[in-house]
Amino acid sequence: MSALLVAVGASGLALAVAYRFALQYRDRVALPRRSPVEASPADFGLEFEAVDIPSGDLTLSGWFVPADRVQDDARGARRSRGPAVAIVHGWESNRSRTFAHVRYLHAAGFHCLVFDVRGHGDNPEESLPISVPEFGADSAAAARWLLERADVSAVGMLGHSMGGSGAILAGALEQRIGAVVSVSAPADIVRMTRRTFEMAEMRIPGVIATPLAWFAARVLLFPRGDSIAEASATAAAALYRGPLLILHGAEDRAVPVAHLQLIAEAARSTRGPEDAPVETLVLPEFGHRWLYEDPEARRIVASFFARALAGPVAPDVAGERAADCVVERPANPTYGFGALATGPSNRS
């Protein structure tokens, strides 16, 4: 009897310690450090509309960058109806840091939408934790906003890091999304949480680290009522049936490249011969960011969207235009989740 009481007491103490750790973890990572919106499409000579995107009870700040006008001999320059791509930034980033993607996709002929996920950029601060489900909900809201526009014929999503997970979740939530490109995305919140332990140099034995990461993730998600499955890109990938392209850097220190394979396997596991394909691309010399600096990556992304969304031009033409486009990193390149894992490579 005394041994049982000792065991129960030890278990209770361990749970109390784990819960205190999880609360402290949530206090540290639940809300993003906000980075200011420092540029606009006008800085790159692009026309744009400042827009408000409804997402539940929230209104998200965004910019819609229309495709260039095409010359019509009868009516002069005009804009035709065509496909659009919504671009989702990562953790602690904002819409002004996504212009490299806007520039090459716009050059390929797409309408583009960039927006601030809740708690980021120009949006008000949040009091409840923000994680993958919120990125997914806001991304799906952006897609629905685009689908309501008369000048948009089809919608694709492109997201980076947590925004990449959010883009996949959006595809599962809104099946009218015609194609998804996910870049450097974490496979699920438990693996992402455990990776933050490692990046913080917490020396937690593996036998403890994984269940502790699960528990910490569960405590993080609890205030909004989200589940572990609802914060999983792998679970969402198994539900999305549209064309999916997953990109990753082989040298990614923030989100190891193994996450790509986990997402791809989940997506393929539920697809039949009639479903759209799942494509992957691993860039050997890249880390967590700046994959758009590779011309071949730009070519593949633009041609993928042109093929999946039926235009605006032939896939090979879209790819060529994107590959030839000059892109630049943001002025302040170190921020957010990936900054914790930046190594000596300038492509981390």
Q: Residue ranges of the domains in the chain?
A: 31-188+232-339
How much is the pTM?
Answer: 0.90
Q: Look at residue 241 and tell me whether its pLDDT is greater than 90.
A: yes
In one letter, which amino acid is 145? W
**pLDDT band (50, 70, 90) for residue 348:** very low
- What are the start-end ranges of the H helices in 180-257? 189-199, 206-221, 233-237
pLDDT digits over 100-115, tens only?
A: 999 999 999 999 999 9
What whole-number distance in Å separates Cα of residue 217 and Cα of residue 133?
Answer: 12
Nearest to 224 by CA among 336, 132, 331, 94: 132
**pLDDT band (50, 70, 90) for residue 38:** confident
pLDDT digits over 44-101, tens only?
A: 999 999 999 999 999 999 999 999 976 444 544 456 799 999 999 999 999 999 999 9
Q: CATH number of the domain at 31-188+232-339, please? A: 3.40.50.1820
Percent of the chain topping pLDDT 90? 78
What whole-number distance in Å separates Cα of residue 328 and Cα of residue 70?
Answer: 26
Contacts for 29 with CB less than 8 Å, ≥ 6 apart: 196, 220
**pLDDT band (50, 70, 90) for residue 217:** very high
What whole-number distance in Å separates Cα of residue 180 and Cα of residue 168?
Answer: 7
Q: What is the DSSP string of 28-55?
A: HHSSPPP------GGGGT---EEEEEEE
pLDDT at res. 198? 87
pLDDT at res. 236? 98
Nearest to 86 by CA among 114, 62, 65, 59: 114
pLDDT at res. 11? 56
Work out the mean pLDDT of the chain and round it to a whole number.
90
Of 175-179, 236-240, 337-341, the one with minimum mean pLDDT is 337-341
Percent of the chain topping pLDDT 70? 89
**pLDDT band (50, 70, 90) for residue 299:** very high
pLDDT at res. 342? 45
pLDDT at res. 334? 55
pLDDT at res. 73? 47
pLDDT at res. 339? 42
What whole-number distance in Å separates Cα of residue 16 and Cα of residue 158?
Answer: 41
pLDDT at res. 2? 58
pLDDT at res. 62? 97
More confident residue, 339 or 109: 109
pLDDT at res. 336? 53
